[in-house]
Amino acid sequence: MGLDGENGVPLRGVCLSRNWSSFSHVYLLSMPNLILAATDLHRSYALADSAVPALRGVSLHLNAGDFTAIMGPSGCGKSTLLQLCGAMDKADSGSLKLDGREVTSMTDLDLTRLRRERIGFVFQFFNLLPTLSVLENIAMPLLLARKDEKSAFEKARSLAARVGIDHRLSHYPNQISGGEAQRAALARAVIHEPALLIADEPTGSLDSTNGQSVLELFQELNRDLGIAILMATHDAQVATIAKQTIRMKDGKIVE
């Protein structure tokens, strides 16, 4: 059983063998096999009068159901690679395709639509909106996409129950623990049924017990929904939950 924050209070409603079948049936049938294809990506950033290379010819492919962890020291290019794969930044050169569509040539509007419809994000510091309740935070991707409000909130409640925070839906982010906040962030990341889930140090702000519970949720989503996951971490123990680990150094994949 997971623990609620640093006080060791058991999380109510947490079940480590959730049934995702009602959420996943049509989703799995519509999932293309090759989700992400990054080829020879280069990215540099301006610093004073020089350009600092962050990525030097990185290539990476993810199929539906893949779970890849990226490891490496600070400054190796992990976060830059996640930003490119998550359509939050553009490469200087190379090709990046998501669902067979070339991302590098998209307009800002197309990139926004792509992120909203096909990509989910989980960050180290949760990034929940402080003025919205947990329920509203989870439902936000559907509300932004102008989906029916009633069905959006119903789906948010269902996902909240599956990640064990349905008793916190009326609370605000400053009223819940770090473990609960990350569960809410994970539910928000998958409510729109993305093809790709980007996770940047998702357990970096959690204690070991809450971190392990969140990692188990990642495994279930990957196994039961076939979501391709690309996760950056400094923690070798965290990386062991992935099906594949790649290591980066100086902007390159070294193994």
* Domain residue spans of the chain: 21-253
CATH of domain 21-253: 3.40.50.300
Q: What are phi and psi of 42, to 5 degrees?
A: -125, 140
Question: Which residue in this structure is represented by tokens 């990692």?
Answer: 215
pLDDT at 49: 81
Say which DSSP state 71 is in: E
Long-range pairs of 239-242 with CB within 8 A, sequence gap ≥ 24:
239/69, 239/71, 241/67, 241/69, 241/215, 242/67, 242/68, 242/69
pLDDT at 18: 53
Q: In sequence order, what are the residues at sequence separation of 6 or more whose Cβ sits closer than 8 angstroms to the Cβ of residue 37?
A: 61, 95, 96, 97
Residue of 145, 242, 138, 133 whose CA lies nearest to 190: 138
pLDDT at 69: 96
Give the three-state DSSP class for 191: coil
pLDDT at 247: 96
- Structure tokens that stand for 118 in this block: 């096909």
Helix (H) / strand (E) element for 35: namely strand 34-47
> Could you tell me where the DSSP H helices lie in 119-177?
134-144, 149-162
- Answer whether 203's CB lies under 8 Å from 235's CB: yes
**pLDDT tens digits for the chain (255 residues)?**
333 433 333 333 333 345 554 454 444 444 558 999 999 999 999 888 888 999 999 999 999 999 999 999 988 999 999 999 999 999 999 999 998 999 999 999 999 999 999 999 998 888 999 999 999 999 999 999 889 999 999 999 999 998 999 999 999 999 999 999 999 999 999 999 999 999 999 988 888 888 898 899 899 889 888 899 999 998 899 999 999 999 999 999 998
Q: Report pTM.
A: 0.84
